[in-house]
Amino acid sequence: MIDTVSRVTYAEAKTKLRDEVRNEVRDEVRDEVRDEVRDEERAQTRQAIIQLLQTRFGNVPQSIEADLEKINNSAKLSRLIVVAGTATSLDDVAGAIRKA
């Protein structure tokens, strides 16, 4: 009788531990994928800003590209798209990027 109880308890513990590990791994993978997607979205937004600036003003100084790379806040990058589309000069854009 004791052996049966021990085996059931062991089996339940094993199942519970397996489920916990599975959930933990799933959560870690989900978080990594989410971070990668966000990184890719920010990279695409930066590229869109640069392309917009190139279309409007010609060559974009490396300093502007470097300053854009430092911005990791998606909301700030989204606001900079509007700036890139409405600014009257690259200096205005560079100032907005530095303030972001």
CB atoms within 10 A of CB 4: 8
Q: What is the pLDDT of residues 34-61, one digit of tens each?
A: 999 999 999 999 999 999 999 999 999 9
Q: What average pLDDT does the structure give for the chain?
A: 91
DSSP H or E stretch at residue 9: helix 2-57
pLDDT bracket for residue 1 (50, 70, 90)? very low
47 contacts 53 by C-beta, under 8 angstroms: no
Q: Which pLDDT does position 9 carry in this prediction?
A: 85
- Mean pLDDT over 12-33 rounds to 89
Q: Which pLDDT does position 6 carry in this prediction?
A: 59
Query: What is the model's pTM?
Result: 0.76
